[in-house]
Amino acid sequence: AQSVTQLDSHVSVSEGTPVLLRCNYSSSYSPSLFWYVQHPNKGLQLLLKYTSAATLVKGINGFEAEFKKSETSFHLTKPSAHMSDAAEYFCVVSDRGIGTGGGADGLTFGKGTHLIIQP
């Protein structure tokens, strides 16, 4: 079985300061991991993905995430926040083993982290 925990429901940072959104996962197999972003009243957009290649993954809009197997973490970071980064962020795990899902059979979403950017 797989699960994902986003450790903060809300994160507030000032514009120009670093962003850290934390995600821990559990997986029985070698996982794929994703970060999605959802701007207000919009659908979800893929920010970046990890699929067992390089452990440091670069995504769009200056975001990156590091896969740390020993810590079962996949935290999302950005060196300098911009007002346009204000959104909801979802960490997602895919357990690529066979028959591991209940009814879901695919991706498991975290409950989201709301990122607030202070001017």
Partner 1 sequence: NAGVTQTPKFRVLKTGQSMTLLCAQDMNHEYMYWYRQDPGMGLRLIHYSVGEGTTAKGEVPDGYNVSRLKKQNFLLGLESAAPSQTSVYFCASSWGRSTEQFFGPGTRLTVL
Which residues here bind partner 1, judged by CB under 8 A?
Answer: 9, 32, 34, 36, 41-46, 49, 90, 94-96, 102-107, 109-112
The least CB distance from residue 119 to partner 1, in Å, is 25
Whose Cβ is closer to partner 1: residue 44's or residue 86's? 44
The least CB distance from residue 106 to partner 1, in Å, is 5
CA dihedral 79, 85, 86, 90 (to 10 degrees): -90
The least CB distance from residue 115 to partner 1, in Å, is 15
Single-letter code of the amino acid located at 36? Y
Question: What does the alpha-carbon distance between residue 91 and residue 21 come to, in Å, rounded to a whole number?
Answer: 9
Whose Cβ is closer to partner 1: residue 16's or residue 106's? 106
Whose Cβ is closer to partner 1: residue 54's or residue 79's? 54
Which phi and psi angles does 62 have, rounded to 5°?
Answer: 80, 5
The least CB distance from residue 10 to partner 1, in Å, is 11
- How many CA atoms does the CB half-sphere of 68 hold within 13 Å? 12
Angle at 90 between CA 111 and CA 74, to 5 degrees: 105
Whose Cβ is closer to partner 1: residue 73's or residue 113's? 113
